[in-house]
Amino acid sequence: MVEQEACVIEATSLQAYFHDSLSDVFKQHDTQLTQEAHAYIVNLLFHFSRSEQVFDWHEKRLTLKPLALLYGEAVHAKSNGERLLVLRRLGDVALFVAGIFGPSLDRKAVGINYYIDMGGGAYDWLSDNLENGGKHSMSWETFRELAVKFENLVSALDSFAQNSCLRGDSSLIRLYEKWLRSKDPKCAEQLRKQGVPVSSVDSKLTH
Amino acid sequence: MPLTHIQSQLQGIYDLRLDHRVEDFLITDEAQVDRLEQCRKFRSTQEKLLISEYDGELFVSLYLAEELLETLETNNPYRRLESKNLREFCTVLEGVSHFIYLTWNATHDRSISRLELELQAEVDKFVSIFLLSGKQGSPIPWGTLSTWLFDRCHYDSALGPDELHRYKTANKLAREFCRRLEPCFDSEGLHYGIIKELRRFYRKRHHEKLTSAGGDVLSRSP
């Protein structure tokens, strides 16, 4: 029970941090989002705060699957449900990578506009093909909103990444991952200094 | 030289202005390819577009195996396209298509993905063969060409899973695109409507190009 409680505290605090920080950034960028779209971005950042959620293991290392290959998986999908999931991942990965790692895309053959185009297109397709109120947890309106505002969202996430030291060796996400693995109090302290109120539950209690 | 013919045919279909001639970027020496690839283990193929970018400049070379060009010199497909030269013609055409698509987009400061490159090459092969066979008085029926090019194609067993997946996706999207154009194809040539559609398609990119090619393939029940 202690373990469960500790996990809830960790999750809530990081999501709360993302929520508040993003609210500020969206205001600065004059980007108005519905609650659903805002929550979607918060959950996206939280989900991708674990690098294995963004990258795939390939030949003993983490690699980023090209968007074109994800698109190919959607083309060859065996069911519409699978296709929805693949295109949603395509949109999510494109938004996260373009927003958080945008500067590194300058060194790639395809630039940031490719990610904006592919990701926005995937969300647009989802909005067109989701039945409102169907089995899927997301509404088509949210995906439409994400598609229309995709470029603004990338720009806002870029500012967010700069403000939050999300990039580089001392990045927040790396620090958070290290803390998740080790529960090192020093990491926790550094995270708190950067505004992430992680749980102070002792590592012994969580295992 | 067939290379010149192929380049001018593709540029004519798509109305492309390009200052570069493919012959000026041609390599036929495999050892030179190895040196350019710096001994990294890339798949050995008869056709390969070598690209490197340094300090904002793009360096491009097109490798075509000597025997491919010899076959096309001996059995010039622009005199007669037949089973003796069809495979070699397709391979060379694919290389020239890659070269033109890459350089045209680069000169317009547009990035492209490898999937788009492969997709365009598949369409280029289909349209070029269809037109050439029609011009020579023995048009290959649309269905026969589609089956041969898209359904009965073989993939190199040395392809990695990602590459194979990319080729299969390009193949499927190109087949879909050509299928939708079928009613517009005319064995006597291409009428202006279809040329406009092909030119529009050429200039699309990224998501728009893929969905434009695939049409409703994503919306159809698998």
The pTM assigned to this predicted structure is 0.80
For residue B146, what pLDDT band results from cuts at 50, 70 and 90? very high
Given a cut of 50, whether residue A2 has pLDDT beyond it is no
Return mean pLDDT, chain B: 90
Bridging pattern class, strands B26-27 and B47-54: unpaired
Rg (CA), chain A: 18
Residues 6+ apart with CB under 8 A from A185: A200
For residue B221, what pLDDT band results from cuts at 50, 70 and 90? low
Give B129-144 pLDDT, tens digit per residue. 999 998 999 888 889 9
Locate the chain B residue with the closest alpha carbon to A122: B207
State the burial class of residue B152 (Cβ atoms within 10 Å of its Cβ: 0-12, 13-18, 19+).
exposed
* Interchain pair B206, A121: CB under 8 A: yes
Per-residue pLDDT, B183: 73
For residue A8, what pLDDT band results from cuts at 50, 70 and 90? very low
* Interchain pair B165, A78: CB under 8 A: no
Given a cut of 60, whether residue A206 has pLDDT beyond it is no
Query: Tokens representing A90?
Result: 């395509």
Given a cut of 90, whether residue B191 has pLDDT beyond it is no
Best interface-test mutation with B: which of A56, A63, A75, A105 has the largest number of B CBs within 10 A? Answer: A75
Mind telling me how many Å the CA of B131 is from chain A's nearest CA?
Answer: 29
DSSP three-state, residue A143:
helix
Mind telling me how many Å the CA of B134 is from chain A's nearest CA?
Answer: 32
Per-residue pLDDT, A170: 52
Residues 6+ apart with CB under 8 A from B115: A68, A69, A71, A72, B166, B169, B170, B210
Residue of B111, B207, B217 with shortest CB distance to A75: B217
User: Once rounded to an integer, what is the mean pLDDT over residues A106-112?
Assistant: 72
Euclidean distance between CA atoms A71 and A90, whole angstroms: 7
Given a cut of 50, whether residue B196 has pLDDT beyond it is yes
State the burial class of residue B81 (Cβ atoms within 10 Å of its Cβ: 0-12, 13-18, 19+).
buried
* Interchain pair B218, A113: CB under 8 A: no
For residue A144, what pLDDT band results from cuts at 50, 70 and 90? very high
* Interchain pair B112, A110: CB under 8 A: yes
> B108 touching A, CB under 8 A?
no
**Chain A residues closer than 8 Å to B166 by CB:** 68-69, 72
Given a cut of 80, whether residue A177 has pLDDT beyond it is no
Given a cut of 90, whether residue B189 has pLDDT beyond it is no
Residue of A72, A113, A114 with shortest CB distance to B166: A72
**Chain B residues closer than 8 Å to A79 by CB:** 222
> A80 touching B, CB under 8 A?
yes
Euclidean distance between CA atoms A134 and A137, whole angstroms: 8
Given a cut of 90, whether residue A154 has pLDDT beyond it is yes
- Give residue for tokens 């029926």: B141
Distance, C-alpha A47 to centroid of its chain = 6
Given a cut of 50, whether residue A61 has pLDDT beyond it is yes
Count of CB pairs separated by less than 8 Å, A with B: 75
Residue of A68, A80, A109 with shortest CB distance to B222: A80
> B206 touching A, CB under 8 A?
yes
> A106 touching B, CB under 8 A?
no
- Give residue for tokens 């949603």: A88
Q: Tell which wins on pLDDT, A63 or A94.
A: A94
Query: Tokens representing B213?
Result: 């090619």
3-state SS, chain B, equals: CHHHHHHHHHHHHHCCCCCCCHHHHEECCHHHHHHHCCCCCCCCCCEEEEEEEECCEEEEEEEECHHHHHHHHHCCCCCCCCCCCHHHHHHHHHHHHHHHHHHHHHHCCCCCCHHHHHHHHHHHHHHHHHHHHHHCCCCCCHHHHHHHHHHCCCCCCCCCHHHHHHHHHHHHHHHHHHHHHHHHEECCEECHHHHHHHHHHHHCCHHHHHHHHHHHHHCCCC
Residue of B112, B210, B219 with shortest CB distance to A71: B210
> A129 touching B, CB under 8 A?
yes
Mind telling me how many Å the CA of A193 is from chain B's nearest CA?
Answer: 39
For residue A67, what pLDDT band results from cuts at 50, 70 and 90? very high
Give B32-67 pLDDT, tens digit per residue. 888 888 766 677 789 999 998 777 778 899 999 999
Mind telling me how many Å the CA of B107 is from chain A's nearest CA?
Answer: 14
Give B171-180 pLDDT, tens digit per residue. 999 999 999 8
